[in-house]
Structure 1
Amino acid sequence: MSISRLILNSECELYGTQYKVVTIKPPHVWLKRPDGEAIQMEYMTLITEPSFKPLKSMKGSRRDTVPYEGKLAKLTEKKRNEVSERLEIIRPIVVLEKIKEGDIQSVVFLKAILVT
């Protein structure tokens, strides 16, 4: 199973039925079936459930998650350091925007930053 993003309106199959993510309030996720019935599950319970299958909207390629990986390697060391410094300045804004979109991985990332 490959899941790279769990965001609002992404879709999955669970217990043989298709669901759409309607609310995310970590650690809980609310899913809704097309007939209107909704369920609530903890994120870890959801993704470890054997019947869970992420659909296309939850899957993403490595290119989606790290779009500039190859380009950074081509920069000079001085330029890479400059880019890294700028990223550290804007990272909280980027993470906040992803959290607002319902990206649960960003919530976990933010918690890890705050703990260290």
Structure 2
Amino acid sequence: MKKTALFSSVLFFTPLLALAQSLIPIRNLIAALNGIVIALVPLLIGAAVVVFFWGLLVYIFKSGKEGNEKGKKIMFAGIAALFIMVSLWGIIALLQSALGVPSNVVPTVPAIPHG
């Protein structure tokens, strides 16, 4: 499987080495992926908040020890997901500011000039 993946990636980038293809499609792909990630982050954070409140409702309205334990597990999963996402977001922002990388600019892919 590793050999197939390696061969496929080498085969994909071969036209770039021969200067037979421009790098604009790769730049467009990176920009599209960036747009998808930017749109997904608030949705995932919102989903984690909804999971937490769902667990809170289960904890409040389910009677008995089993309902309380289930509600606690759901609330813990929501809080853990929220903590991990916000922590990674903060760490990435810290690294970007420390390294001087702007957060709203898609990096340009270097190319060999051809005429």
TM over 0.5: no
TM-score of the aligned structures, taking structure 1 as reference length: 0.26
TM-score of the aligned structures, taking structure 2 as reference length: 0.27
- Structure with more contact order per residue of length (Cα contacts < 8 Å, sep ≥ 6): 1
More strand by share: 1
More helix by share: 2
